[in-house]
Amino acid sequence: MNIEYIFLFVSRRIYLFFYLLRKHFFRMLFSSVGLLVSLVFIFSILGILRPVKKFIVDQFEKNIAPDTLVVRQIQDNHKTASLISLLRTKKDITLGITSEKVEMIRKWSEVKKISQTQILQKPAMGQFDHPVLSKMGIAFDLLIQGVSSDLVSQNLKCMKDFKPSVDVKQDGNRMEVVPLILPESFAEMAYAYTMMNGLPAVSKSNMIGLRLKLNIGQSVISGITGSSNEVIGVVCGFAPQNIVSILGVPLKWVRGIHLNGRQYKAANSYDKIFIQLKNIKDMETISNRLALNGLTVISGSNNSYIKVTKWLNNLDILLWTFVFILLFISAISLSNSFMILTTQKKYEFGLYLVFGASPMFLWMLIFFEGAFWGAFHSSLAYWIAENFYQVLQSSLRVIPYINEMNKTDMVFDFNITLAEKWYLISGSILFSGISSLIPAVLMTGKKTLSLIKKD
């Protein structure tokens, strides 16, 4: 084989292809579209759905890891009522989970780590520390919750660590600055409020850095209740409701206030604990053991996580099944198209055989044609999938909710590695080559004489 003949052969086949495309337009079109759609699906599953799936799983794992139980005391109505009164008065109540219980649980061999939250049993009043908003004199009562830093540190957007620092103000006074983590529902409520009242939209991102003046020990409802401690709170991020249910601050800081105020019961009891297990299989055993200790597992996250991952896996199976069906149909239609191409030139191939071409030689020729077909379609499919993703991404951005509320979270890229891309392209080349080889093998299985005989 020399270059001249290869060129002649290729140009001849291209000519023949367009001739047949005109003659058998719909058959060729269906095989082409079938293959293209299958490949677009494969690229989309890998490039788009996989990152979305990873995003969902990450969100779950970022909030509460699937191996973690969220535990609180079995509901006590009297104590709940007492907690509400914290808005007005200083209390010293032992909340459901005492330090002793925490230490006891920590010693269980199945337990890897325990994190806690503690409600501040003192009233607190908040005011905006803002050049304009502060002039309005708006003040509101707050409930404050101390949260272990390991539960929320990944949600921090503005301070380096989840612990108080000291800020020197212009007048020279030193102010304690406390990072605040808000429940995500707060951001949604603020957004809804501004939308309903025709105010400029408030998003998560523009709430970050918002400063509040916190007067610990004061209450709007009941006035000054005792000595007050003024600190600055800076909104540094958002966390899911089942981690932070009110205004989240560093746990050590809350405990410090309790201890300074001689609220020992408050300092040594927790409203919620997060038990991370060494093995996820021990969940049921630990849940039962906690129940015996008067504690209840409230974490729905694990169930949701399992449900969502199960659903995503089922979706995966469904989509891959669909892809395989499409590929099977494409293989048939591809073979069909090549059957036409081959049958059309059966006489020509017969002559090749007469002059000594081996069947293997003809197989190779047709295989390369099929491979070219696969290379063309896979490249086109990749291009379509990538651009489809871009269109999808820009469409999502016009939805205000996603744009404003979840901008930081919803950014994920069309995620196919270079190796995967080339594996897929080579795979489709091989797939098309083999599909096209079937009619070639069938043809060369016939006697040469029957090929060269003109009908």
Partner 1 sequence: MKKTETSHKTTKGKRLSFGEKKSSLKVIEPFRDESRNMNDILVLRDVSASYRKSNIIEKVNCNVKKGDFIAVTGKSGSGKSTLLYVLGGFLRPSTGLYLFENKRVYRGIAEIGLGTFRRKNIGYLFQDFRLLPFLTIEQNIQFPIYFSGEKLHKERVRFLLDLFGLEHRSKAYPGSISGGEAQRTALARALMLEPKLLLLDEPTGNLDLDTESEIIHELIKLKKRGFTLICVTHSPRIRECADIVWHLENGKMLISQNSGKKKKPV
In the complex, least distance from residue 352 CB atom to partner 1, rounded to whole angstroms: 7
Q: How far apart are CA 3 and CA 76, in angstroms?
A: 88
- Per-residue binding string, partner 1, 353-382, x by CB under 8 A, is xxxxxxx-x---------------------
Q: Which residue number, 203 or 444, has a Cβ lying nearer to partner 1?
A: 444
In the complex, least distance from residue 445 CB atom to partner 1, rounded to whole angstroms: 8
Q: Is residue 17 a contact point for partner 1 (CB under 8 A)?
A: no
In the complex, least distance from residue 360 CB atom to partner 1, rounded to whole angstroms: 10
Instruction: Name 393's Cβ contacts closer than 8 Å, sequence gap at least 6.
Output: none
In the complex, least distance from residue 348 CB atom to partner 1, rounded to whole angstroms: 7
- Per-residue binding string, partner 1, 426-455, x by CB under 8 A, is -------------------x-xxx--x-x-
Q: Is residue 332 a contact point for partner 1 (CB under 8 A)?
A: no
Instruction: Name 383's Cβ contacts closer than 8 Å, sequence gap at least 6.
Output: none
Residue from 8, 14, 138, 280 that binds partner 1 (CB under 8 A)? 8
Helices (H), 165-203: 184-196
Q: How far apart are CA 354 and CA 438, in angstroms?
A: 21
392, two tokens: 């999808």
Q: Which class for 167: exposed (0-12), middle (13-18), buried (19 or more C-beta within 10 A)?
A: middle
Q: Which residue number, 40 or 365, has a Cβ lying nearer to partner 1?
A: 365
Q: How far apart are CA 253 and CA 251, in angstroms?
A: 5
Q: Is residue 5 a contact point for partner 1 (CB under 8 A)?
A: yes
In the complex, least distance from residue 2 CB atom to partner 1, rounded to whole angstroms: 6
Angle, helices 25-44/359-397, rounded to nearest 10 degrees: 60
Q: Which residue number, 3 or 166, has a Cβ lying nearer to partner 1?
A: 3
Whether 40 and 384 have beta carbons less than 8 Å apart is answered as yes
In the complex, least distance from residue 438 CB atom to partner 1, rounded to whole angstroms: 18
Q: What are the phi and psi torsion angles at 2 (to 5°)? A: -110, 170
Q: Which residues pair with 295 in a beta bridge?
A: 73
The count of residues interacting with partner 1 (CB under 8 A) is 24
Q: Which residues bind partner 1 (CB under 8 A)?
A: 1-2, 4-5, 8, 12, 15, 348, 351-359, 361, 445, 447-449, 452, 454
